[in-house]
Amino acid sequence: MSKTFDVIIVGGGPAGYVCAIRCGQLGLSTAVVEKEKLGGVCVNVGCIPTKALLHSSHVANLVKKSSKYGVTVGDIQLDFGAAIKNSRQVSEQNSKGVEFLMKKNKVTVIPGTGQIQAGKKVVVGGDVYTANKAVVVATGSSVKGIPAIGLEINKSTVISSDEALFLPEAPASLAVVGAGAVGSEFAEIFNAFGTKVTLIEALPRILPLEDSESSATVGRSFKKRKIDIMQGASVKKADIGANSVTLEVEVNGNTRTVTAEKVLMAAGRKTNTEGLAEAGIQIDERGFVKTDANLQTTSPGVYCIGDVAGPPMLAHKGSREGVFVAEVIAGEKTHPIRYDNIPSVTYCSPEVASIGLSEDACKKQGIEYKVGKFALTANGRARASDETEGFVKIIRDPKYGEILGAHIVASHASEMIHELAVARENEYTVAEVELAVHAHPTLSEAIAEAALDSMDRVLHT
Ligand code: NAI
Choice from 199, 200, 269, 351 to test ligand 1 binding pocket (greatest atom count within 8 A of CB): 269
**Which residue's CA is minimally distant from atom 9 of ligand 1?**
180
Q: Which residues does the annotation mark as catalytic? A: 440
The pLDDT assigned to 367 comes to 98
User: What is the rounded distance in angstroms from the CA atom of residue 345 to the CA atom of residue 199?
Assistant: 19
**Which residue's CA is minimally distant from atom 30 of ligand 1?**
313
Cβ-contact 35, 140 below 8 angstroms:
no
Q: Please give the distance, rounded to the nearest whole angstrom, from the Cα atom of residue 403 to the centre of ligand 1.
A: 27
Whether 150 is in the pocket of ligand 1, judged by its Cβ within 6 Å, is no
Give the model confidence (pLDDT) of 208-226 as tens digits: 999 999 999 999 999 999 9
Q: Please give the distance, rounded to the nearest whole angstrom, from the Cα atom of residue 228 to the centre of ligand 1.
A: 18
User: What is the rounded distance in angstroms from the CA atom of residue 390 to the CA atom of residue 355?
Assistant: 16
- The full length of the chain comes to 461
CATH for 350-454?
3.30.390.30
Q: Please give the distance, rounded to the nearest whole angstrom, from the Cα atom of residue 180 to the centre of ligand 1.
A: 4
Q: Please give the distance, rounded to the nearest whole angstrom, from the Cα atom of residue 266 to the centre of ligand 1.
A: 6
Whether 342 is in the pocket of ligand 1, judged by its Cβ within 6 Å, is no
Residue 1 has pLDDT above 70, yes or no: no
- Looking at the chain, the number of H-run helices and the number of E-run strands are 13, 22
Whether 268 is in the pocket of ligand 1, judged by its Cβ within 6 Å, is yes
Domains 2-142+270-339 and 147-267 share a fold: yes
Closest ligand 1 atom to 181 CA: 25
What is the pLDDT averaged over residues 234-245? 94
What is the pLDDT averaged over residues 9-35? 98
Q: Is the pTM of this model over 0.95?
A: yes
Cβ-contact 191, 171 below 8 angstroms:
no
Give the model confidence (pLDDT) of 62-108 as tens digits: 999 999 999 999 999 999 999 999 999 999 999 999 999 999 999 99
The pLDDT assigned to 136 comes to 98
Whether 165 is in the pocket of ligand 1, judged by its Cβ within 6 Å, is no
Q: Please give the distance, rounded to the nearest whole angstrom, from the Cα atom of residue 420 to the centre of ligand 1.
A: 24
Whether 416 is in the pocket of ligand 1, judged by its Cβ within 6 Å, is no
Q: For residue 252, name the pLDDT band (cuts at 50, 70, 90).
A: confident
User: What is the rounded distance in angstroms from the CA atom of residue 126 to the CA atom of residue 128?
Assistant: 7
Arithmetic mean of pLDDT over the chain: 97
Closest ligand 1 atom to 149 CA: 18
Choice from 41, 159, 185, 201 to test ligand 1 binding pocket (greatest atom count within 8 A of CB): 201
Ordered by start, the domain boundaries in the chain are: 2-142+270-339, 147-267, 350-454
Fold entry, domain 2-142+270-339: FAD/NAD(P)-binding domain (3.50.50)
Q: Please give the distance, rounded to the nearest whole angstrom, from the Cα atom of residue 434 to the centre of ligand 1.
A: 34
The pLDDT assigned to 2 comes to 64
Residue 323 has pLDDT above 80, yes or no: yes
Give the model confidence (pLDDT) of 340-369 as tens digits: 999 999 999 999 999 999 999 999 999 999
The pLDDT assigned to 397 comes to 97
The pLDDT assigned to 116 comes to 97
Task: Outline where DSSP puts E strands in 78-223.
Answer: 107-111, 114-117, 121-124, 127-137, 141-143, 158-159, 173-177, 196-200
Whether 216 is in the pocket of ligand 1, judged by its Cβ within 6 Å, is no
Choice from 141, 158, 182 to test ligand 1 binding pocket (greatest atom count within 8 A of CB): 182
Amino acid, res. 129: Y
User: What is the rounded distance in angstroms from the CA atom of residue 123 to the CA atom of residue 208?
Assistant: 41
Cβ-contact 355, 342 below 8 angstroms:
yes
Residue 38 has pLDDT above 80, yes or no: yes
User: What is the rounded distance in angstroms from the CA atom of residue 230 to the CA atom of residue 261?
Assistant: 18
Fold entry, domain 147-267: FAD/NAD(P)-binding domain (3.50.50)
**Which residue's CA is minimally distant from atom 14 of ligand 1?**
267
Residue 120 has pLDDT above 80, yes or no: yes
**Which residue's CA is minimally distant from atom 3 of ligand 1?**
180
Choice from 313, 316, 417 to test ligand 1 binding pocket (greatest atom count within 8 A of CB): 313
Q: Please give the distance, rounded to the nearest whole angstrom, from the Cα atom of residue 286 to the centre of ligand 1.
A: 15
Q: Please give the distance, rounded to the nearest whole angstrom, from the Cα atom of residue 92 to the centre of ligand 1.
A: 25
Closest ligand 1 atom to 208 CA: 9
Return all residues near 143 (Cβ < 8 A) that are at least 6 apart.
153, 160, 161, 162, 265, 269, 270
Residue 61 has pLDDT above 70, yes or no: yes
Whether 317 is in the pocket of ligand 1, judged by its Cβ within 6 Å, is no
Closest C-alpha among 27, 89, 7 to residue 52: 89
